[in-house]
Structure 1
Amino acid sequence: MANPPYLYDAQELATWYRPNVNEVREEDRDSYRRAEAALLGVVTGQLSLARAAKLHGLCRKRLRRMVAHAPGVHADGMANGFRVCVPYGTYQRMPGASGEVSVPSSGGPGSIAQLLQALPAVRDLVERFTDPLPPGRAPRAFSRLHERICAELRRLDLSDHYPLNTPDHGRRALLDYLRRDRLAAVVPGTLELEPMAVHKLEDAFRGRLFDRTEFDAHRIDVEGTLSVELPDGGVAERPITTLWLLVEVEVRSRAIVSWSLRVGRGYNNLDVATCLASGLRPWSPRELTIPDLAYAPGAGMPTGLEPALASRRSRSIALDNALAHSALELEASMCRSRGGVIIFGRAHEPRSRPIVEQLFSRLERGALRRIPGGFEPAKSLNESRRRISKVPGNEHYFNLGAFEELLDVIIANYNATPHPALGSLSPLQFLRTQPCSAFAFSPDVAEQDAADLCTVLVPLVVHGNRPQGVMPHVNYKYVKYRGPGLDGRWELIGKTVLARVNRNDLRTLTLMKSVTAPLCGVRAADPWARTAHDETTRSLIMRWIKNRDGFSVAGADCAVVAYVGFLKSRMQTSQLAVDQLARMDAATRPVSRQAVEPDCYSTAITMATDGWISLDE
């Protein structure tokens, strides 16, 4: 065939598939370009086949096959086109000019394909076979197909032809042909991918700013030592069990929204609520007391930005399934005050919250492990922790207030440091570049919501006995509460009322007629009404009392002061006492009198609307 049987115009050649030259291997691009030029010259009639092969340095037989295969239809429905010019390509054998193909007499390359072209009945059996063909031993369905093909060949008296004249009757060749054909086949409609439908709730809160924040708690890799003056003289030094850093981080900007520090073996849902509430209050720099400690230029928190930007809050919060995260008190306060969707992750899947996990790693490697007592935990059972800080932890005693001051500077400076995920921008700079949208979740009652986030509504029964002179009161957390609003209200005895409880200050409660209508305020009985204490502190005090370890608040002026004194006396023998004493910030600071005594007589006394006089400083 010196000349091609057909000539093609430019319009028809434009419909042929043309591979991208950049997708061809670099060492084969020159060969592809020469083959493309030769094929184009032949099919347009500009050059003869022999002239094109000699001019472009191609084999004449190869160019003839390219011309014959180019108009054929590929499995994707398009013409083979210029893809036949790709070096080392494999193509299906085509029938001759007459269209008649004979049954092969012996095995060889392409014998199965030639057999299927020669016998349409056998080809129909193979095309209707759709059972899976996994690697390894062929399934029984393939064996039945092979038996039917052999039976059809015997019926046609082709026992002396391929594949019946081979030992396995072409079984292996047929299996390889089917597997290769399925690998090369293109399923119609699978090249254009449709947008993935949202099947999980958390997938609906991804992509936009403040659509999602991630929350988690992390054990700080620092060995802390607590030093306390004992009541009988002397100083006791004991190590602290664990320091917990609770963090909420915004996903897109990588900005830390809120954080808090807790001491002890674990944390509870009140600690989580307190941390989330701090992300709603406006942030301002602290008055630093540590020498040479300073905020970096532009350091701060998202709530310290301009009012229009500081009021934004996330639409969803992703947490793990820790018990402190799934408590009913936290869920109720979240739904009532903060708003948003709570997304709980599965156990042992930190990759579902990758941003906050990576944040902890950055904070540890960049700052926290350089604190005195910093270390890198062991990565396997046969290894031990590796000390990172050059200063042992027992040379600098732990102080909760000073440590929180240091963390505030570290986190504020982190928000002002360029992040690799944001290019040359810091998290706060990225937030400033993103204007508030019309549908941004930014309520203007952040202070009120922050206070409500740490409150709960609980039903309480009003107790009392008029004949015995027991005034109406309510009990909450083992403590009696009374107030002028309950005096003389004998009709409420035995009734259930709602109480709004500020979990960070249990000195007072607010009794409610309904969810929104207040009834009166009540105050805790002595010795619980002097010092502000949260729900966790009262639970720890009552636990020591119930254990009958010789501790009691009966007759004490202040339960919290008595509790701190008891912890100091037990810290040499109890690790729980050490951790709880480190948690009490007042216990770690030295007691000092004011330089000038306040003039108590000239200070105005604040009178409450219900007639109760507050004697708190």
Structure 2
Amino acid sequence: MLLDRLKDQPWAEVPSPAAYHSLFKALLARANMPLDAYPYTTKSLAYESVRRDLKERWVLFCQAFKARKAAFIGSATDHSRPLLYDRIEIDEQLVDCEESTQGIELILGDNLPPLRLPRFTLIAAIDKATDCCLAFHLVLKAHATQDDVLSLLFQCLTPCPERAITTDGLQLPPGPAFPNMDPSLPFGVPREIALDNAWIHHAFSVKAFCTRKLKATVSYGKPKTPTLRLAIETSFNRVNHGLTHRLNSTTGSSVTDDKRESAKNRKGVPTISLSDFEDALYVTLAESNHRPRPYLNGATPLETLRYQAERTYLVDVDDDQRAAWNPFLETREITVHDLSAPGRRPYVNFEYLRYKGPGLLALPGRESRVLIQYDRRNVRQLAAYRLNGQALGTLECPVSWQSYPHSIATRRYLFQHCRELVRKSQDPLTEYLLRLRERCSHPTDAARYLSTYQEFVGGYGLPTALWPKPPTDQSEATDSQTERSTRSHAGSLVTNRTTGHPYDYWSMDLNPGGSR
């Protein structure tokens, strides 16, 4: 019975003392055990002894099964003493608490009223040898994308200044919080990047940057075995116990779970705001990097990283080559149209739009293919090159799509799901942002508006504390208010022309609690 359960046979039953004791009595009857011998001489028929035997035997079988299974799922690069940057583990986790929009300052339109936001996704990178958190990224939606993974890799390889904590009661430990904030520490190239089997990790952009640029090995591991990435899972456990699980849970294990947020509190706005949660998460991970570990001989992860960086061989590169490592930068070969047509300007088709530039006029008539280089976060401009590497200058998209920086994902979403808006609007990006602002009654809609706003203001991958702030000077504030009202008026005119009704202003009737 126990072996069938361990092997997950279809006929296996759950091992319980009652079932195990029934099987024991059946074996005694099959063996023709005398009725005047033990265990028939006892009233319980040795029930307690059978229960203890079940417990000990089940633990023994489980340990043997795990030991045998670990021999086949161990990491191929598992060393007795791993070195610095030998293995970097990356994973995502859904944060089990909700925040509000209180205190978020916007430069496009008025600030949001206090609204409930949904659960977000946390992405982090951990060095296996030192257990040091290299970087983290908070995604303003439930599911991360390949661009979010690229943003995390970009943070690991880019020097960043120390952040100022504005939340009362929070204080950073002395010293740099992360390795990329210490100029004395090298930015080593990882030899292996361990990921799980999520589809975003199998994206071509992620695999191409890790293997072609970083020259690292991408390891996906065996499915449904999170223990292969024990360092990142342990780090998430520290975040849960130190921060996220201290707040009321959004779901709980059942409808009567004490950790679940009550129906009364769900009708209002969460106490903690998004800005405060980002500061608390930043301080939690920084304290984790400065906390001594017993398996590191009492040293902190940052001390261990600094010690190994001074005494081990690392694959290091200069600043110029590291500056060229932009994970969002991609190259594609496309066709040039109307190159030999008289009276027409040549153009290229890229992501549903035509790009034109004076450099295409210098292209010989026998060449109809060019190389373009673009940034996934901002596709308003393309850098064109001939196949031999000669630069042809910059290609620009139509003027109606140049109001804000936008990514490939946003443009694809607009052309695939908002075709009517794209056809009728003279400024699709502005009207799309205004439409998202209208529909913020649900927490998911509010998060979609914030993520789109973050992209349009050029703050992709940055926390809310580093977003562009409104001007503080009175004259600048007056000019900004005039420009904002003009843009809002233009957006209203576009809306009246396309949809036939003006936009509504913000009011507290939007149900800040967010109806489910």
Task: Please give the range of the TM-score, normalised by the shorter of the 2 chains.
Answer: 0.5 to 0.7
SS in 2 for 1:485: helix
Deviation at 1:545, TM superposition (A): 1.5
- Verify: 1:274 aligned to 2:147, yes or no: no
What residue in structure 2 maps to residue 579 of structure 1? 447
Tell me how far 1:483 sits from its aligned partner: 2.2
Consecutive unaligned residues of structure 1, counting only runs of 5 or more, are: 1-136, 138-195, 599-617
Output the CA distance in 2 between the equivalents of 1:217 and 1:198. Answer: 21
Residue 192 of structure 2 contacts residue 216 of structure 2 at CA under 8 Å; is this kept in 1? Answer: yes
Cα distance change on mapping 1:463 and 1:199 into 2, 3 Å: same
What is the aligned partner in structure 2 of residue 264 from structure 1? 141
In structure 2, what residue type is equivalent to 1:464?
D
CA distance in 1 between partners of 2:273 and 2:360 (Å): 43
CA distance in 1 between counterparts of 2:157 and 2:311 reads: 19
Does residue 473 in structure 1 map to residue 347 in structure 2?
yes
Answer yes or no: is the 8 Å Cα contact 2:101–2:117 preserved in 1: yes
CA contact (8 A) 2:123 2:136 kept: yes
- 1:565 counterpart = 2:439: no
Aligned-partner residue type, residue 461 of structure 1: T
Distance 1:538 1:457 in 2: 18
Paired residue for 2:93? Answer: 218
Q: Secondary structure at the match of 1:470?
A: coil
Number of matched pairs = 393
Tell me, what secondary structure is at the counterpart of 2:149? Answer: helix
Q: 1:554 to 1:353 in 2, by over 3 A?
A: same
Give the drift of 1:332.
1.2
1:458 matched residue in structure 2? 332
1 CA distance for matches of 2:287 and 2:384?
43
Within 2, Cα distance between the matches of 1:234 and 1:296? Answer: 32
Normalising by the residue count of structure 1, what TM-score does the alignment of the two structures yield? 0.56
Rounded to whole Å, the distance in 1 between the matches of 2:149 and 2:200 is: 7
Equivalent in 363, 369, 379 of residue 496 of structure 1: 369
- Alignment partner, residue 306 of structure 2: 432
Q: Describe the superposition over 1:329-349 as per-residue Cα deviations: whole angstroms up to 9, x where unpaired.
A: 211122232221110122221
Residue 207 (structure 1) aligns with: 82
For the residue of structure 2 that corresponds to 1:325, the secondary structure is helix
1:338 aligns with 2:220: no
On the 8 A contact 1:283/1:300 being kept in 2, the answer is: no
**Given that residues 114 and 269 in structure 2 are in contact (C-alpha distance below 8 angstroms), is that contact kept between their aligned partners in structure 1?**
no
Matched, 1:323 2:199: yes
Task: Give the alignment's TM-score, normalised by structure 2.
Answer: 0.65
1:540 aligns with 2:408: no
- Structure 2 counterpart of 1:248, which letter? A
Aligned partners of 1:240 and 1:264 also within 8 Å? no
Structure-2 separation of matches of 1:500 and 1:357: 37
The counterpart of 1:441, out of the listed 315, 320, 324, is 315
Distance 1:395 1:299 in 2: 34
Task: Tell me the amino acid that sits aligned with residue 525 of structure 1.
Answer: P
Deviations along 1:137-179, one digit per CA (max 9) or x if unpaired, are 9xxxxxxxxxxxxxxxxxxxxxxxxxxxxxxxxxxxxxxxxxx
Q: SS in structure 2 opposite 1:584?
A: helix
Pair 1:388–1:581, CA change in 2 (3 A): same
| Conserved 8 A contact 2:125-2:135 | yes
Sort the Cα spacing of 1:434 and 1:233 in 2 relative to 1 into closer, same or farther, 3 A: closer
Is 1:511 paired with 2:387? no
- RMSD between aligned alpha carbons? 3.9
Cα shift at 1:318 = 0.5
Cα distance, 1:357 vs. partner? 0.7
2:77 match: secondary structure: helix
Distance in 1 separating the partners of 2:296 and 2:194: 22
Residue 595 (1) aligns with residue 473 (2): yes
Tell me which structure has the larger Cα radius of gyration. Answer: 1
Give the aligned residue type for 1:555.
Answer: Q
SS in 1 for 2:200: coil
Match status 1:283 vs 2:191: no
CA-to-aligned-CA distance 1:292-318 (integer Å, 9 cap, x gap): 4432112411122343x3322321110
How far residue 268 of structure 1 moved from its aligned partner, in angstroms, is: 1.2
Q: How far apart are 1:261 and its partner, in Å?
A: 1.1
Displacement of 1:397 in angstroms is: 7.3
Q: What secondary structure sits across from 2:232 in the alignment?
A: helix
Structure 1, residues 185-219: CA drift from partner, whole Å, max 9, x if none? Answer: xxxxxxxxxxx999964336972222111100010
How far apart are the structure 1 equivalents of 2:398 and 2:366?
20
Sort the Cα spacing of 1:197 and 1:488 in 2 relative to 1 into closer, same or farther, 3 A: closer
1:312 to 188, 211, 214: 188
Partner of 1:255: 132
**Aligned equivalents of 2:468, 2:87: Cα separation in 1:** 42
- Select the structure that is richer in helix: 2
Aligned CA distance change for structure 1 residues 428 and 520 (closer, same or farther; 3 Å): same
Q: CA deviation at 1:457?
A: 1.6
1:368 — aligned with what? 244
> Structure 1 residues 300 and 232 mapped into 2: Cα distance closer, same or farther (>3 Å)?
closer
AA at the equivalent of 2:305: L
CA distance in 2, matches of 1:315, 1:383: 47
Is the Cα–Cα contact under 8 Å of residues 260 and 275 in structure 1 kept in the other structure? yes
**Paired letter, 1:503:** R
The equivalences for 1:381-396 within 5 A come to 384=257, 386-387=259-260, 394-396=268-270
Instruction: List aligned pairs for 1:93-104, cutoff 5 A.
Output: none
